[in-house]
C-alpha cells in the first residue's frame, strides 16, 4: 500500500506522463479510459483532475455518491489500483478527491484499447477461412465478434486456435501481426446485435510479432491522447 508523499509523487508522474488510467464507476455499467490533467489543493485536501470521459455525466445522473475504481500500469510495468468517492464535473474536467492509498499489485496486466474500424482477425478452421471484427485489443488478448449473424458460435470457450492473423488497416500498407496460439476465454451472444462475442487470450506469440503489436498499441494510445488533448490546445 502506497501512502503519504509517495502517493502524491505517483499522481504527479501520471499527470506528467499523461498515463492512461482505467476508470470504473462502481454499481454501474460504465468503464472508460482517461488521464490525469492536474492536481489541486482545497481546504487542506488534495484533489486530482481527470479528462472528462465520454458518457460520464449520463452514467452518474442517477448516482447519489460516486464510487470509483481506477487502474493503471506504472513505469515498472506493474498494476496499480485505487478507490475514491465523490467529485464534481467542471467543464471538460472531473475533480476527484485523492484516495487514502494506492495498492500496488505484483503482477502484470494489460489494458485493452479500441482499434480502428476494419481491424480484422483471421484464422483457419476445418479448411475454412474465418474473419472476425476486432473490437478492442491489448498485448495479451482481444475482444472480437463475428462478421455476420450466425446461429451457432464459431468455437467454444477453452478452444485453442493456431496461426491467427491480426490485420490493422493503414493508408500505405495494412499491418499484420501473427499469433501462433490463441485461446478462447469467453464466448457469449450480444442480445442487441445477435452476434457472438469472443474474449481471446494470446497464448503464444513470437518475440518479433509481440514487438510489432506493442508498437501498434502504443500508436493507438498516442492517437487517443492526441484526440482528447485537442480540446485543451
At 173-232, the pLDDT tens digits run 899 999 999 999 889 887 777 889 999 999 999 999 999 998 898 888 777 766 655 554
Question: Do 195 and 130 have their domain in common?
Answer: yes
What φ, ψ does residue 88 adopt, rounded to 5°?
Answer: -150, 150
Question: Do 133 and 211 have their domain in common?
Answer: yes
> Per-residue confidence at 53, pLDDT binned at 50, 70, 90?
confident
Residue 100 belongs to a domain: yes
Minimal CA–CA distance to 186: which of 128, 149, 145, 137? Answer: 145
Question: Do 38 and 63 have their domain in common?
Answer: yes
Residue 81's domain comprises 4-105
Given this model, what pLDDT does residue 224 score?
A: 73
Query: pTM value?
Result: 0.58
Residue 232 belongs to a domain: no
Exposure string (b/e) for 51-89, b if CB count within 10 Å is 16 or more?
bbbeebeebbeeeeebebebbbbeeeeebbbbebeebee
Question: Do 135 and 213 have their domain in common?
Answer: yes
Question: Do 73 and 152 have their domain in common?
Answer: no
Q: Which of 42, 73, 105 is the last residue of a domain?
A: 105
Given this model, what pLDDT does residue 191 score?
A: 75
> And the C-alpha cell for 97?
478527491
Half-sphere exposure of 129 (CA within 13 A, CB side): 3
Question: Do 100 and 127 have their domain in common?
Answer: no
DSSP 78: -
Q: Which of 85, 105, 125 is the last residue of a domain?
A: 105
pLDDT digits (tens, 9 = 90+) for 102-144: 998 765 456 678 888 899 999 998 888 999 999 999 888 999 9
Question: Do 85 and 28 have their domain in common?
Answer: yes
**Dmax (CA) of the chain:** 68
> And the C-alpha cell for 48?
486530482
Residue 8's CATH number: 2.30.110.10
Report whether pLDDT(148) > 70.
Answer: yes
Q: Which residues contact 3 (CB under 8 A, 6 or more apart)?
A: 100, 101, 102
Residue 214 belongs to a domain: yes
pLDDT digits (tens, 9 = 90+) for 13-29: 999 988 889 999 887 77
Instruction: Please check whether residue 164 is in contact with residue 155, taking contact to mean a CB–CB distance below 8 angstroms.
Output: no
Residue 214's CATH number: 2.40.10.220
Question: Do 124 and 70 have their domain in common?
Answer: no
Domain count within the chain: 2
Residue 81 belongs to a domain: yes
Minimal CA–CA distance to 163: which of 112, 197, 198, 205? Answer: 205
Report whether pLDDT(156) > 80.
Answer: yes
Given this model, what pLDDT does residue 219 score?
A: 83
Average per-residue pLDDT for the chain: 86
* DSSP alpha helix (H) spans, the chain: 4-17, 56-59, 207-229
Q: Which of 63, 84, 105 is the last residue of a domain?
A: 105
Q: Which residues contact 130 (CB under 8 A, 6 or more apart)?
A: 122, 123, 124, 154
Amino acid at each position: 500500500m502506497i501512502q503519504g508523499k509517495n502517493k502524491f509523487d505517483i499522481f504527479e508522474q501520471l499527470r506528467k506522463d499523461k498515463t492512461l488510467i482505467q476508470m470504473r464507476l462502481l454499481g454501474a455499467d460504465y468503464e472508460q479510459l482517461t488521464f490525469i490533467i492536474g492536481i489541486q489543493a482545497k481546504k487542506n485536501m488534495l484533489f486530482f483532475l481527470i479528462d472528462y470521459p465520454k458518457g460520464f455525466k449520463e452514467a452518474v445522473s442517477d448516482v447519489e455518491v460516486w464510487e470509483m475504481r481506477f487502474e493503471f500500469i506504472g513505469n515498472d510495468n506493474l498494476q496499480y489500483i485505487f478507490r475514491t468517492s465523490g467529485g464534481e464535473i467542471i467543464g471538460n474536467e472531473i475533480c476527484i478527491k485523492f484516495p487514502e492509498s494506492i495498492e500496488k499489485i505484483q503482477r502484470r496486466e494489460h489494458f485493452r484499447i479500441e482499434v480502428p474500424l476494419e481491424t480484422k482477425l483471421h484464422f483457419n478452421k476445418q479448411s475454412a477461412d474465418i474473419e472476425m471484427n476486432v473490437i478492442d485489443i491489448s498485448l495479451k488478448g482481444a475482444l472480437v465478434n463475428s462478421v455476420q449473424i450466425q446461429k451457432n458460435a464459431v468455437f467454444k470457450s477453452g478452444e485453442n486456435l493456431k496461426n491467427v492473423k491480426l490485420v490493422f488497416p493503414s493508408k500505405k500498407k495494412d499491418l499484420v501481426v501473427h499469433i501462433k496460439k490463441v485461446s478462447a476465454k469467453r464466448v457469449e451472444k450480444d442480445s442487441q446485435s445477435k452476434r457472438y462475442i469472443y474474449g481471446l487470450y494470446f497464448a503464444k506469440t513470437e518475440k518479433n510479432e509481440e514487438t510489432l503489436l506493442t508498437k501498434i498499441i502504443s500508436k493507438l494510445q498516442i492517437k487517443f491522447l492526441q484526440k482528447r488533448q485537442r480540446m485543451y490546445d
